[in-house]
Amino acid sequence: MLSLTYRPLTPADIPELAAVLRNSQVFQHIGGVPSEAEFALGLQRAILGPPTERSSERWLNYVVRLTDTSQAIGRVEATLHHGIAEVAFLYGPEFWGKGYAYQGLTWLHEQFQEEVSAFWATTTPANARSIKLLHRCGYVPAPTTNRPVLHSYDEGDLVFVRSTSPSAGPCE
């Protein structure tokens, strides 16, 4: 297993994450590269947690660092609500294809499998890298009916689900 550390996201992490993640490749499938101010504001909001009207949710945001150098390479997150976890991950392009996102998603599963009945993820149909990772980690396309409300869903996204039952097993 690769040597990574996961720490709760703090305001001090934002500039380093901006340098790694504010990239056209990273934001190709999620609306384009935000300005530095928009990027910082988004992470500051994530750190603060859900607004009052969504107070039953838990927003869990982590910076992912290489253990040996402490360099930030990306972030993972889980939004827990109604007995499910919506997961997401962003890594700098120079860290793609090295198993880091796979390990991060596996780590999220381990953290929350006792608390939720399923993990959910969404992505655009064009995001082949994310789709491949989700399949590798046991996610399957979700049926179009009886889905929970997903806060990370945008019209046209593909939706994937992974059960937390023992038969789901680890990422392969």
Full 3-state SS string of 51-66:
CHHHCCCEEEEEEEEE
**Over residues 9-38, mean pLDDT:** 96
**Model pLDDT, residue 144:** 82
In the three-class reduction of DSSP (H, G, I as helix; E, B as strand; rest coil), residue 162 is classed as strand
User: 37: part of which helix (H) or strand (E)?
Assistant: helix 36-48
Domains observed in the chain: 4-168 (3.40.630.30)
Sheet strands (E) in 33-170: 58-66, 72-81, 84-91, 118-123, 140-141, 158-163
**Model pLDDT, residue 167:** 57
Cβ–Cβ under 8 Å, residues 23 and 93: yes
Grade residue 143 by pLDDT with cuts at 50, 70 and 90.
confident
Separation CA 169–CA 163 (nearest Å): 9
pLDDT surpassing 80 at residue 99: yes
